[in-house]
């Protein structure tokens, strides 16, 4: 089982200071992967920079130029959440390009699956706007690139970040060639992602939002992936699965109120690996989005990679916290989502 890891110190050039999305996220993660020797079992992949033309498949050229100019002016705040430094342009084009590198490696069978350990994250970035810590929408650029450069017509994007990927949804809301599936705490930032947002025109039915209530954890996430994602994926028959892997739904992460554990994330990875093996020759690419508790993030990424390598013995230094009381009947909720999408 050959699993690729995309990483480069260029991602540390995105200097956000004491911002919650900072370079320590990758430093802690790569340190753990070296310490537990998982890195030694991976195929290391060097990212290339995405070209302006590749970024422009998703983003307006004015937006791309604005990010480059801001970096050349030593960075600064783009909105109340999102900050840049002089090195952010180089980091951002390598973040988007890193996911392209992962896609290339998987689609050409250099590796079976891959994880792009990149920053800045991407799923909030829209055509015209950098927001929510994101400059360019890495996973959206990767989906467009895969459709344009390989003989495929259907890409599934699975987003389990605790925040809804509004930028990714916007990009593909009318596009049947990409099915966007998101689990996220709701209501929560950025305010989008209701269960009734299902796409428009040719894309109607190809957006699947599963808005989760604060306090839900491993059991609920697993049920959503098994009872909603799996039948939808089998019906769609994707030729590539891309994953926006945000680990901020971990119970120890103070940015959210969800209760997922490290083994819980590993179980989600196992479900997606099984679907990829069944439906699309194992074509599976993860890219890092959120996750801000350093030990929870690094342990969860490590567990994801361990799962992709075929190991089911997952180490969890943080343990599991029981899910809080559920304000609504979960089974009724699952039935409602399945009814909306006729699965």
Half-sphere exposure of residue 313: CA atoms within 13 angstroms, side-chain side:
0
* Cα-Cα-Cα-Cα dihedral sign, residues 324, 301, 255, 181: negative
**Of the residues 14, 59, 123, 124, which is catalytic?**
124
Two structure tokens written together for 258: 């969800």
What are the distances in angstroms from CA 148 to CA 105, 144, 177? 16, 6, 11
Catalytic annotation on 124? yes
Question: 180, 127, 137, 136: which is closest to 155 by C-alpha?
Answer: 180
Phi/psi at 180 (5° precision): -105, 125
Question: 181, 179, 232: which is closest to 203 by C-alpha?
Answer: 179
Question: 125, 253, 124: which is closest to 189 by C-alpha?
Answer: 124
Could you give the angle at the alpha carbon of 338 between the alpha carbons of 336 and 342, nearest 5°?
120
Collapsed DSSP state (helix, strand, coil) of residue 210: strand
For tokens 């017509």, name the residue.
153
- Which residues are paired to 180 by β-bridges? 157, 207
Contact criterion met (CB below 8 Å) for 244 and 287: yes
* Cα-Cα-Cα-Cα dihedral sign, residues 191, 82, 54, 47: negative
* Cα-Cα-Cα-Cα dihedral sign, residues 61, 67, 71, 74: positive
For tokens 């801001």, name the residue.
70
* Residue 303 parent element (H or E): helix 294-308
Two structure tokens written together for 146: 């895969």
Burial of 95 (0-12, 13-18, 19+ CB in 10 A): buried
What are the distances in angstroms from CA 213 to CA 5, 245, 333? 33, 19, 10
Query: What residues are annotated to the active site?
Result: 124
């Amino acid at each position: 089982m050959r699993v690729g890891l995309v990483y480069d110190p260029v991602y540390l050039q995105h200097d956000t200071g004491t911002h919650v999305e900072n370079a320590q996220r990758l430093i802690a993660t790569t340190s753990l992967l070296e310490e537990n020797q998982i890195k030694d079992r991976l195929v290391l992949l060097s990212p290339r920079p995405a070209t302006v033309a590749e970024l422009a498949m998703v983003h307006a050229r004015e937006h791309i130029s604005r990010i480059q100019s801001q970096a050349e002016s030593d960075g600064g705040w783009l909105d109340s959440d999102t900050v840049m430094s002089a090195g952010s342009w180089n980091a951002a084009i390598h973040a988007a390009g890193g996911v392209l590198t992962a896609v290339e490696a998987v689609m050409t069978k250099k590796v079976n699956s891959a994880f792009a350990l990149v920053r800045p994250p991407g799923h909030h970035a829209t055509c015209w706007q950098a927001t929510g810590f994101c400059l360019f929408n890495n996973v959206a650029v990767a989906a467009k690139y895969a459709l344009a450069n390989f003989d495929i017509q259907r890409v599934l994007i699975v987003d389990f970040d605790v925040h809804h990927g509004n930028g990714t949804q916007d990009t593909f809301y009318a596009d049947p060639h990409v099915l966007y599936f998101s689990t996220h705490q709701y209501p929560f930032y950025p305010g989008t992602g209701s269960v009734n947002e299902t796409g428009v025109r040719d894309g109607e039915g190809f957006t699947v939002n599963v808005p989760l209530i604060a306090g839900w954890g491993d059991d609920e996430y697993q049920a959503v992936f098994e009872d909603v994602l799996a039948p939808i994926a089998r019906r769609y028959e994707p030729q590539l699965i891309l994953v926006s892997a945000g680990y901020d739904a971990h119970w120890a992460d103070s940015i959210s109120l969800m209760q997922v554990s490290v083994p819980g994330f590993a179980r989600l990875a196992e479900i997606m690996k099984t679907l990829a093996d069944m439906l699309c020759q194992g074509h599976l690419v993860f890219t890092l989005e959120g996750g801000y508790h350093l030990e929870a993030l690094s342990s969860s990424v490590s567990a994801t990679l361990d799962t992709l390598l075929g190991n089911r013995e997952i180490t969890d230094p943080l343990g599991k916290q029981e899910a809080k009381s559920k304000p609504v009947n979960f089974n009724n909720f699952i039935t409602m989502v399945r009814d909306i999408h006729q699965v």
